[in-house]
Amino acid sequence: MKTFCLFIVTTILPLFLYSQTDLTIAPDSVYFVWGSPWKATVTVSNNTNQPVNLLQVQSQCAPCQGGWGWWVDSISVTTPHFIYPGQSISLILGYWTIVKDESQINFLHDSMYIVSSVGNQYCHIFLDPSLISSINEPPKKSFSVFPNPIASRVTVRLNDNLNEPGLLSIYNSKGIKITESELFSEDTEIATADLPKGMYLFKVTKGNFSAVQKVYKTY
């Protein structure tokens, strides 16, 4: 009996010790720098001997601290999804930048969380601050947008003297420019009925300065 029990322990214990339940994220850190693509691919692999249920992948940080954001542009599966031993899934990360809010040193940093049946793991995302557009500091409230949240139409009002025409650029939450309009008068009405719900950045450029405001559409 003692010999039999010893056989069971020495046989099962090594299997238990070598049974891993972690996902492998590669790379586990993504760097967006000058000269690199504005999108990056991350692979989540199951290199263990057990199925792992991928429950959730954080979809975005918009905005992160410092006037930038990132989002998951695409993912090869829908969650929840079982990743079986030897299998992997891939996702593509992108970033957007609009306005440099303050001077930064070294890399701006954020983390994307990945939730699975074996716990939370992270992919770290770093951004070179030089990728953020630097602008001259405009006067406070150099323009206003109303109503905000916006409806089917919105008015952009320039709050300083109109010495020359201005340019309004509208960006979605991913930092993609979706429309552009010239501003020839103090008040300009813009049609926004076709814009889906979400957060937008209205950027007015006039002369040697530009200014940005957050605008929301809730219906």
Whether 81 and 117 share a structural domain? yes
Locus of tokens 């409230």:
141
Q: Is 191 exposed, middle or buried (0-12, 13-18, 19+ CB in 10 A)?
A: exposed
Whether 37 and 100 share a structural domain? yes
CATH number assigned to the domain comprising residue 150: 2.60.40.3080
**pLDDT for res 90:** 95
Whether 65 and 149 share a structural domain? no
Instruction: Name the residue range of residue 126's domain.
Output: 23-131
State how many domains the chain has. Answer: 2
Among residues 131, 160, 191, which one ends one of the domains?
131
Which of 77-91, 93-107, 132-146, 162-176 shows the lowest per-residue confidence on average (mean pLDDT)? 132-146
Residue 177: pLDDT band (50, 70, 90) is confident
Residue 43: pLDDT band (50, 70, 90) is very high
**pLDDT for res 197:** 85
Domain membership flag for residue 170? yes
Whether 153 and 127 share a structural domain? no
For 45, the token pair is: 């692999």
Highest mean pLDDT of the ranges 72-81, 103-112, 171-180, 191-200:
72-81
Whether 115 and 176 share a structural domain? no
213, pLDDT greater than 80: no
Domain membership flag for residue 136? no
Among residues 95, 111, 131, which one ends one of the domains?
131
Whether 54 and 126 share a structural domain? yes
Whether 126 and 27 share a structural domain? yes
Which of 8-12, 109-113, 161-165, 193-197 shows the lowest per-residue confidence on average (mean pLDDT)? 8-12
Whether 198 and 165 share a structural domain? yes
Among residues 82, 111, 131, which one ends one of the domains?
131
Percentage of the residues of the chain whose pLDDT score is greater than 70:
76
* Interatomic CA distance for residues 143 and 136, integer angstroms: 15
Average pLDDT over the chain reads 78
* Interatomic CA distance for residues 40 and 26, integer angstroms: 11
Whether 124 and 35 share a structural domain? yes
pTM listed for this prediction? 0.54
First to last CA, the chain: 74
CATH number assigned to the domain comprising residue 124: 2.60.40.10
* Interatomic CA distance for residues 150 and 131, integer angstroms: 30
**pLDDT for res 4:** 36
Rounded mean pLDDT of 190-209?
Answer: 83
**pLDDT for res 136:** 43
Whether 88 and 30 share a structural domain? yes
Domain membership flag for residue 15? no
Whether 59 and 120 share a structural domain? yes
Rounded mean pLDDT of 112-140?
Answer: 76
Domain membership flag for residue 4? no
137, pLDDT greater than 50: no
**pLDDT for res 218:** 76
**pLDDT for res 20:** 52
Domain membership flag for residue 205? yes
Residue 77: pLDDT band (50, 70, 90) is very high
